Amino acid sequence: MALSRLKSLEGLVLTAPIQFNAISQDKTLVDYAENKPKNEEVKRLIDQETILFLKGYTLKAYDFVWLYTCLRNHEASYNMAENKSNKQKHQAWAKELIEKFEPLKLNADKFSNQLMQIFESRAEDYLQTVSGRHVAAKNYFYPVLKELSKSILVHIELLKEEKQIKTYLEELLELEGLLYKHLQQLDKVSTVIDNVLNNVEFNKHQLKFNANQNERLELVRQTIAITEKAAFEERLDATPRRTKSKKRVFNRLRHQKSESRKTRYQRVELCFIQRG
Q: What is the pLDDT of residue 13?
A: 83
**Residue 2 belongs to some domain of the structure:** no
Instruction: Evaluate whether 224 touches 235 at the Cβ level (below 8 Å).
Output: no
DSSP structural state of residue 271 = H
**Residue 192 belongs to some domain of the structure:** yes
Distance of CA 186 to the CA centre of its chain: 11
Q: Taking 60 as the threshold, does the pLDDT of residue 247 lie above it?
A: no
**Residue 247 belongs to some domain of the structure:** no
d(Cα 111, Cα 67) in Å, to the nearest integer?
A: 16
Q: What is the pLDDT of residue 218?
A: 67
First to last CA, the chain: 45
Q: Taking 80 as the threshold, does the pLDDT of residue 63 lie above it?
A: yes
Q: Taking 70 as the threshold, does the pLDDT of residue 227 lie above it?
A: no
Q: What is the largest CA-CA distance in the chain?
A: 94
E-strand ranges in the chain read none
Q: What is the pLDDT of residue 232?
A: 62
Distances (CA, A) of 183 to 13, 23, 26, 175, 177: 65, 59, 51, 13, 10
pLDDT (mean) for 28-50: 86
Tens of pLDDT, residue by residue over 83-113, are 557 788 888 999 999 999 999 999 999 999 9
**Residue 55 belongs to some domain of the structure:** yes
Instruction: Evaluate whether 202 touches 189 at the Cβ level (below 8 Å).
Output: no
Q: Taking 80 as the threshold, does the pLDDT of residue 52 lie above it?
A: yes
Q: What is the pLDDT of residue 60?
A: 95
Tens of pLDDT, residue by residue over 131-168, are 999 999 999 999 999 899 888 988 888 887 777 788 88
Instruction: Evaluate whether 54 touches 134 at the Cβ level (below 8 Å).
Output: no
Place 2 in a pLDDT band, splitting at 50, 70 and 90: low
- The proportion of the chain whose per-residue pLDDT surpasses 70, expressed as a percent, equals 71
d(Cα 194, Cα 233) in Å, to the nearest integer?
A: 50
User: How deeply is 92 buried, as exposed, middle or buried, from its count of CB atoms within 10 A (0-12, 13-18, 19+)?
Assistant: exposed
- Across the chain, mean pLDDT equals 79
Distances (CA, A) of 26 to 15, 20, 29, 30, 125: 25, 15, 5, 6, 46
The more confident residue out of 252 and 73 is: 73
- The proportion of the chain whose per-residue pLDDT surpasses 90, expressed as a percent, equals 33
Distance of CA 155 to the CA centre of its chain: 22
Q: What is the pLDDT of residue 203?
A: 72
The more confident residue out of 153 and 52 is: 52
**Residue 253 belongs to some domain of the structure:** no
Three-class secondary structure of residue 245 per DSSP: coil
**Residue 244 belongs to some domain of the structure:** no
Distances (CA, A) of 100 to 63, 137, 142, 145, 149: 17, 17, 13, 10, 12
pLDDT (mean) for 249-268: 53
Q: What is the pLDDT of residue 135?
A: 96
Host domain of residue 72:
42-208
Q: What is the pLDDT of residue 158?
A: 81
d(Cα 128, Cα 121) in Å, to the nearest integer?
A: 13
**Residue 82 belongs to some domain of the structure:** yes
Q: What is the pLDDT of residue 154?
A: 83
Q: What is the pLDDT of residue 82?
A: 56
d(Cα 247, Cα 233) in Å, to the nearest integer?
A: 12
Tens of pLDDT, residue by residue over 186-221, are 999 999 999 999 988 877 666 665 545 566 666 666
Q: Taking 70 as the threshold, does the pLDDT of residue 272 lie above it?
A: no
Q: What is the pLDDT of residue 220?
A: 66
Q: Could you tell me which residues come within 8 angstroms of residue 216 by beta carbon, excluding any fewer than 6 positions away?
A: 180, 272
Q: What is the pLDDT of residue 269?
A: 47
**Residue 141 belongs to some domain of the structure:** yes
Domain count, the chain: 1
Q: Could you tell me which residues come within 8 angstroms of residue 235 by beta carbon, excluding any fewer than 6 positions away?
A: 253
The more confident residue out of 15 and 266 is: 15
Q: What is the pLDDT of residue 190?
A: 92
User: How deeply is 162 buried, as exposed, middle or buried, from its count of CB atoms within 10 A (0-12, 13-18, 19+)?
Assistant: middle
